[in-house]
Each structure stands twice: as structure tokens, then as C-alpha cells.
Amino acid sequence: MAEFDVAAFLSSLTQRAGVYRMFAADDELIYVGKAKNLKNRVSSYFRARGLNTKTVALVSKIARIEITVTGSEAEALILEQTLIKKHRPQYNILLKDDKSYPYLHLSDHAYPLLAYRRGKRRRSGQYYGPYPNGAAVREAQNYLQRLFLLRNCEDSYFNHRSRPCLQYEIKRCSAPCVGMVTQAEYGRDIDRARLFLEGKSTELLKDLQASMDEAATDLAFEKAAEFRDRIDLLRRIQEKQNVESGDHNADVWVLVDWQSIICVQKLTFRQGRLTNSQSFFPGNPAGDAPEDLLVAYIEQFYLGAHGGESAPEIIVVDIEPDRFAPLLDVMQQQGQKLRHQRGLRGESRQWLAMAEENARAGIQSRVSGHQAAQGKLSEVAKLLGLADVPRRIECFDISHSQGEAAYASCVVYGDQGLDKSRYRRFSVKHVTAGDDYAALEDSVRRHLTRQIENNDLPGLLLIDGGKGQISRVYSVLEELGVPNLNLLGISKGTTRKSGWEFLWSPEAVRPLTPDPHNEGFRLLQFVRDEAHRFAITGHRKERAKKRGQSDLESLPGVGPKRRRELLLHFGSLRNMRGAPKEEFEKVPGISKSLAAKIFASLHGESQE
């Protein structure tokens, strides 16, 4: 491939708005950017001086650059976000996709279901969020059930109820499944739930008070008392939101770079109340200036990860208005009126100060966690006599039930503590049942093969087991060409008591028995216990899934429609097993040959 002629390329560049794409020698797309003036922006990467080390590293990898001229900077912004989301270049800051965030979902149903959802929003209905974590969703869902008695059972359960369930008895559901509430009454509660989720507390209180007065006027005092209790509960919930500032819907953004850690802080205000605070810790692989990084992050947040659905009326961020003009234009094209405030005075200035304080607190917490984790990893290195402090410990454990449904788990402890984004489970299906050694070999081999390809091996590989397990895993390391990878086994002694474990290295004839109070030893125990917990959880989920599967679902040639016809005809699986083969032929949609197959399957007979 011909060497990239920078001077010739820059001399031919246009000064119009557009998008530029930087490629490495292997044609990998490594960076995507937008520019109001392509010539000025791209030329800035090739200055003789003034570039930081990260930008220099990026430029050193550029083999060619492609550009796309657009009609405006707003169009360039849309194209840039589309390309980033599609190709995920390594030098662009990357937000988590929306599948990582939890939502509340109101289904499109005569009696809508209120449910916790993650992943792509394929279901019809309305989504509210995203929420910062699952606990926040559960809390909101709990409030809504107590306030409005909304159902939280899936449609498959709802459609087959003949009497109210426990949720009705404890006043968490109005039992629409059995007609204890009319569709109109339930719909009114759904409308109130929407007001709650949209932060329209004043309107909601007025509606509840009007309903209470109406019930009292009609002498329906028990109903009026129910509305009174709901109003009291709603007011108690509102008291928890003790930050009151006008009645605006606003998102407040700041970026703080402190102690070599970058924190982007977002405060969410709805109806003047602080409803959410989120701290993000993005990397800065291209070495962008703080203001450029913050603008790129905000643009990607509203246009990339969330599609602008959760955008407020106002964005408060201390950046020149010109920098935000493209985003505002794009949002306007999507039918959303978004205003930008710099937060130089009044309540918005207080919001920015609050956001900056939160960002610094987030960084301090992260630094403290990092220092504590680093200290513990150093103690491990000291305990084992390692030349270097391991930057990451990965631990494997095997879980099964009498040899069946074997699962391997891998948990990770890094310089920030437990790194759950790196946790992995391996379903072991191609080894002899009950052979823990083979299951361990298989899962370790699969895992390390992938890591070797990505040049991302851990500093220490920890195995829940003794000399036998370590010997088998060491043979895998030799097979993969990484025998120098630090390997350690941790096994309990004959007493099986915590603190009396043995540590095994591949070459050791006798195990190491550390002081039970040694910090490094305690960390190894902690990571081993986490691996065991994670393996057991995966195993239990799989076992519960298999137990929950009806025998009807395994019948040959029987789908949902035929299952329904069989149940309508026989009433239960027990009746089906006691019925003659000829009786199956009377079921609509069941042919003579299919009836024979179903009968044989139910009685464990083989079909020739």
C-alpha cells in the first residue's frame, strides 16, 4: 500500500462541512469526526507541535482518510453518530448501547402491563427511562403498584387466571384479570401512572383529590378513603425529592478532569425536582480537549444511545452556544424543541455547581476504590512473590448437579475492584458428565483462546481447585503457548473451613498455607467465593429454566396452537397420558400419524 501523502491530501481538502473517517493500514476504521470546515479540522491533526500524546498515537496509525461532504454541520452530526454507532471505532468515545439501560414499559394491551425491561425496545407500548440501574426501576415500579394497583404479570399468566392472585390480596393489583376492575377504571389509573412517570405531580394530585371529593359526594366513603391514602403516599414520595427548583425539565452536564480521571456528570431535573444523577467515566483515546470531549459525549447521548427520546426542554452546560447549534438543529428536525443555557446565573448556575460537586465526589470515590484495589493486588503479588503486580485476577469455578447441567464461571477482579462487565459463564456440553477436570479444561481453553487473539491475558489465573486441577489447566496453558501465565489453585483443606485453604502453584510439591489474616490471601478467598457464587447462580437459572418447561413443549410436531387444542380437549397432561391413541386423532389439527408420534412420546416409546 502506498504511503499516505499528507500534504497532497490536505491541499485538496474542501472547506465545507462534512465527516472525515481515518483508517489504519489494515483498513480498520479507527476514528470518525465531523467538522464545520473539513480543511481546518483535519489539518489540525498534522500540526508540527501542540499535539498531546494520545493524538500523536492516533495520527501515527493513519494510513488514509476519507471524507463525506454534507449540506450542513447538523447533517454532519447525524452521519457522524450513525457511523460511530455502526463501526464503534477504537479512538472514538463510546457510550453503552441502550440495551445496557433498564426501562419501565407500559404494554399496548386493554389492561396494560407495567414491567421492567432491558434490551432493544421491540415491544409495542410506551417506554419510560432510561434509569441509572435496576434498583431505581424496581423502586419506581413498587411506587406505581402501591399508588395505582397496576398489574405486573405477563400476558400468558394474565390470560389464564380464574381467581385473584396474592398481589390483589396485599393491595398491589386491582385484579383486572378476573374483572375486579372495569377497563375504564383501569385505564384511568394507567393515565395517572403516566402523569407520575412524566413528573407531572401537580396534575396528578389535583386528579386524585377530585376523585376523592367525587367519591365522598356519592357517599362512597371507602373509595374516598382509598384515594386519601393514595394522596398521602404520593406526598410522602414527593418529600423524598427534597431538591426544589422551579418547574423546568432540564439536563445539566459538566466535565471534570481531576487526578487524571475524567468524569462526565449528568443531573436530571423534572418539574424542578432532581430525579436522577449519573456519573460517566469515558476514556479519551484520541486526546480531545475537555470541551470537545463533553460536546461529543452529549451529542452521542441524545443521538446515538437514546435517540433523543429522553431529551428535556433545556440542556444546561457551560459551553459556547455555537458548539451546540448542530445538536439543536437535529433535535428540532426530529420534532423536539431543545434549548441551551450556559448556566451563568440564577438556578442553572446552582445546578452546574451541584453537578461539579457530584463529579468530584464520583472521582474521589473511584480513586479511593482504585487505591484500595491496587493495594490488595500488591499484597497478592507480595504473598506469591510475583515480579509484577497483577493488573487483573480471573478466577474459574465449576458448578453442576450430580454431573448434569455443568457450568463454568469466570469472575474478574481488577484495579477498580470486581469488574462485572468481564464476568463470563460457560455451558459445558461436550464433556463426560461429572468430569470436572475436562469441564475446567474446556472452559479455560475457550476463554484464553479468545484472550490471546485480543492480547488481553490476565495477570493471574486463579482456579478453585487443588493440585489435580492446576496440573490439567497448566497443560492447557502449554498447549496454547502461554506457560508463563501466573497460575494458582486455591483449595480447602480437610476441615473445609474458610481461612484454612491451600494455595497450589503448578511446580509446587507442597501447598502454600498463608496467614489467614494476610490481605492478599483474603482477596484470593474473596475472588474464589465470588466465582463460586456466580457459577451457582448460572447453574440454578438453567436448572429452573428446564424445570419450568412443560413436557407439552417437547412433544414432536406440536406448536402453540396444537398445544392449546390438546389442553382444551384433554384438560391436563395427566389425562393425555391416560388416553388411548385413537383419542388424539379427534383433536383438531392432529393427524393420525402425528397422534401416533404424540402417544409414543408421552409413553416413552420409540417411533420407527
Question: pLDDT grade, residue 2 (50/70/90)?
Answer: low
Joined grid coordinates for residue 344: 451563568
Give 167's DSSP letter: H
Judged against a pLDDT cut of 70, whether residue 130 lies above it is answered with: no
Instruction: Supply the pLDDT for residue 415.
Output: 83
More confidently predicted of 264 and 338 = 264
Mean pLDDT score, 359-385: 83
Which residues, 6+ apart, have CB-to-CB distance to 526 below 8 Å? 413
What CA–CA distances, in Å, run from 316 to 246, 251, 339, 348?
15, 6, 9, 7
Question: Do 250-363 and 551-602 come out as alike in CATH topology?
Answer: no
Instruction: Supply the pLDDT for residue 308.
Output: 41
Joined grid coordinates for residue 549: 418447561
When mean pLDDT is compared across 3-7, 14-18, 315-319, 430-434, the lowest value belongs to 430-434
Distance in angstroms (rounded) separating the CA atoms of residues 411 and 531 = 5
C-alpha torsion angle, residues 24, 26, 30, 32 (rounded to 10): 80
When mean pLDDT is compared across 245-249, 250-254, 364-368, 562-566, the lowest value belongs to 245-249
Instruction: Supply the pLDDT for residue 245.
Output: 42
The Cα angle at residue 317 between residues 313 and 321, in degrees rounded to 5: 85
CATH number for the domain formed by residue range(s) 6-87: 3.40.1440.10
Distance in angstroms (rounded) separating the CA atoms of residues 96 and 81 = 13
Give 244's DSSP letter: B
| Contact (Cβ atoms closer than 8 angstroms) between residue 287 and residue 87 | no
CATH topology of domain 390-543: Nucleotidyltransferase; domain 5 (3.30.420)
Instruction: Supply the pLDDT for residue 242.
Output: 36
CATH topology of domain 551-602: DNA polymerase; domain 1 (1.10.150)
Instruction: Supply the pLDDT for residue 379.
Output: 92
- Report domain extents, the chain: 6-87, 100-240, 250-363, 390-543, 551-602
CATH class, 250-363 region? alpha beta
What does the longest C-alpha to C-alpha distance in the chain come to?
A: 89
Most confident of 204-208, 464-468, 534-538: 464-468
**SS3 sequence of 364-422:** HHHHHHHHHHHHHHHHHHHHHCCCCCCCEEEEEEEEEECCEEEEEEEEEEEECEECHHH
Instruction: Please identify which residue in the block is written with the cell numbers 398491589.
Output: 172
Distance in angstroms (rounded) separating the CA atoms of residues 243 and 249 = 13
Question: pLDDT grade, residue 571 (50/70/90)?
Answer: confident
Instruction: Supply the pLDDT for residue 239.
Output: 46
Tens-place pLDDT, residues 71-101: 778 778 877 877 887 788 888 876 654 445 6
Judged against a pLDDT cut of 70, whether residue 368 lies above it is answered with: no
Judged against a pLDDT cut of 80, whether residue 275 lies above it is answered with: no
Strand runs (DSSP E) across 196-280, as ranges? 250-258, 261-270, 273-280
| Contact (Cβ atoms closer than 8 angstroms) between residue 426 and residue 408 | yes
| Contact (Cβ atoms closer than 8 angstroms) between residue 459 and residue 391 | yes
